[in-house]
Amino acid sequence: MNDMPPRDFIRQIIHDDLQSGKHATIVTRFPPEPNGYLHVGHVMSICLNFGVTEETSGKTFLRFDDTNPGKEREEFVRAIERDVHWLGFDWEDRLTHASDYFEQLYASAERLIELGVAYVDSLTADEIREHRGTLTEPGRNSPYRDRSVAENLDLFRRMRKGDFADGEHVLRAKIDMASPNMNLRDPALYRIRHINHQRTGSDWCIYPMYDFAHTMSDAFEGITHSLCTLEFEDHRPLYDWFLDQLEPAHRPRQIEFSRLNLAYTITSKRKLNALIEADVVTGWDDPRMPTIAGMRRRGYPAAAMRDFVKRCGVTKKDKLIEMGVLENSIREELGEQAQRRMAVLRPLKVVLTNYPENQVEMMSALNHPNRPELGTRELPFSRELWIEQDDFMEEAPRKFFRLKPGGEVRLRFGYIIRCDEVVKDGDGQIIELRCSYDPDTRSGSGTSDRKVKGTIHWVSAAQAVPAEVRLYDRLFTVPDPSAVEDFMTALNPDSLQVVEAKLEPALAEQPAGEAVQFERLGYFSVDSEDHSIEALVFNRIVTLRDSWAKIERQAMPAS
């Protein structure tokens, strides 16, 4: 009996190619453009491209598509490298750039001219657009389409020398202006851009278009399987056309898969940048952003991101994935790994009137309920404590098992206490609870078998560590904000709430990059940018339970 899990369609193709001997080694590439930060959609592509070669002892190139220097920055290059490494992948010595191949690409373009299948067009951008036709009407040939090979070579070489202004000429492929596939209506191959490139400086003033540079770079690098998202499916005939004309020594195969679309997020770099420019978020790494940098800063574990991609699967059908799928991957990873601590996010003071004023006891607390090897820690306990405001209700319903006037509750790892008096300020707001404790009910003492239905967490007031805690939530209120005419109108006004919390002393030394569970509240991590010894800042990674589940199921479009 075969207990192996079924392969997705891409892995099946790769398996068949290896079995048949078509390829001895699988070679893939991840080709991001350094014009912004990578987002959750890229996680699927990274895990797929690097994953299939890890599984088959193949090789993956990290290739930067740096053919549009006006929008590309070194900051984005470094960020992309960090993101790929953080997800657990290594390109080793296979870091490349489209600009590494500028000379080869130029030579390939000249070869297309010599073959009579490329020409220099002198129409303006608007005229080219007008000649292109529509989805229902064929395009029209450019009046410059029949220039001779000699004239085209001369013009193209002068384009390279810098003899012409931006937009004065463009090199186009000569395919079919009546093709039903718009990508085959004489697509542009090179355009003039008098702008410095971040790697090649002023060496070039013409730059190849993506489809041409991508196809030929795949061929130059010996890529066997060029894995692209579905929006490139209509580009595949052009990909194959370049290979048919130029007949490179190595011929790659393009295969498309559905992109990862996550509910309540957008992944358009243009729209993400608009959020930054409008000060909706603080930058590309804002923990509410669907960027890998933002998710890392928020505290998402890389292992959970890989698990999430695995759960989504590789398919050929576009779908919108519920946010709960991602959050469940995070909860499962952190539930096993994160140690437990006590924190009070919205503090309400409790005074134990019958507890000695200057006494401090140390209570033993488990670091993890299911992992005894992680040991215990000591919690200070004293007369004045902080509890959560939500753990007290003055007019409580019958099934409210937390603290209420005259009611009892157990303090976790501590004693049973009873609320005797409620203290309010001049506006009628509750500012303090006066309670009494039962000294015979200390946890683990075995001196009393008294039980109560409710258990709440707490922090000793005198030893509590103040901290800013940032409570992050979904950035949008609708599952598919990209479908809203003005996506800014779908922003969630409660995507970030900041509270001044009280933490147990151990959290003052919480290591960066290590998640922790605030008992009963959720998973949290130190903010990598703003946290310091003098000013503690924690980010909520995810709540303990999915409070959005019912809302999300009702709001998600039918698949």
Full pLDDT tens readout for the chain, 559 residues: 345 557 999 999 999 999 999 999 999 999 999 999 999 999 999 999 999 999 999 999 999 999 999 999 999 999 999 999 999 999 999 999 999 999 999 999 999 999 999 999 999 999 999 999 999 999 999 999 999 999 999 999 999 999 999 999 999 999 999 999 999 999 999 999 999 999 999 999 999 999 999 999 999 999 999 999 999 999 999 999 999 999 999 999 999 999 999 999 999 999 999 999 999 999 999 999 999 999 999 999 999 999 999 999 999 998 899 999 999 999 999 999 999 999 999 999 999 999 999 999 999 999 999 999 999 999 999 999 999 999 999 999 988 999 999 999 999 999 999 999 999 999 999 999 999 999 999 987 766 778 899 999 999 999 999 999 999 999 999 999 999 999 999 999 999 999 999 999 999 999 988 999 999 999 999 999 999 888 999 999 999 987 655 554 555 555 4
Determine whether 259 is an active site residue: yes
* Residues 6+ away with beta carbon under 8 Å from 465: 502, 503, 504, 505, 507, 508, 536
The pTM for the full model equals 0.93
Helix (H, G, I), strand (E, B) or coil at 499: strand
Q: CA torsion angle for 525, 528, 529, 533 (degrees, to 10)? A: 70
The HSE-up count of residue 353 (CA atoms within 13 Å, CB side) is: 10
Say what the pLDDT of residue 2 is. 46
Q: Given 7, 11, 33, 520, which residue is catalytic?
A: 33
User: Does the fold of domain 343-457 match that of domain 269-299+308-323+467-555?
Assistant: yes
Contact status, residue 506 vs residue 341, Cβ threshold 8 Å? yes
Q: Can you list the pairs that 133-136 forms with residues at least 24 positions away whose Cβ atoms lie under 8 Å?
A: 133/177, 133/178, 133/182, 133/185, 135/182
Helix (H, G, I), strand (E, B) or coil at 522: strand
Q: Given 185, 191, 236, 269, which residue is catalytic?
A: 269
| Phi–psi pair at 6, nearest 5 degrees | -65, 145
C-alpha R_g of the chain: 31
**CA–CA gap between residue 34 and residue 25 (Å, rounded):** 28
Q: How far apart are the first and last CA of the chain?
A: 34
Q: Given 7, 132, 145, 259, which residue is catalytic?
A: 259
Determine whether 269 is an active site residue: yes
Determine whether 500 is an active site residue: no
Extract the runs of DSSP E, i.e. beta strands, from 302-456: 319-321, 339-341, 343-344, 347-352, 361-366, 376-381, 384-388, 408-411, 416-424, 430-437, 455-456
**CA–CA gap between residue 10 and residue 49 (Å, rounded):** 10
Pairing, β 455-456 against β 408-411: parallel
Superfamily of domain 343-457: Ribosomal Protein L25; Chain P (2.40.240.10)
**CA–CA gap between residue 305 and residue 340 (Å, rounded):** 22
Superfamily of domain 269-299+308-323+467-555: Ribosomal Protein L25; Chain P (2.40.240.10)
If residue 278 lies in a helix (H) or strand (E), which one and from where to where? none
Superfamily of domain 9-257: HUPs (3.40.50.620)
Say what the pLDDT of residue 1 is. 39
Q: Which residue(s) pair with 537 in the sheet?
A: 468
If residue 549 lies in a helix (H) or strand (E), which one and from where to where? helix 549-555
Say what the pLDDT of residue 533 is. 86
Domain residue spans in the chain?
Answer: 9-257, 269-299+308-323+467-555, 343-457
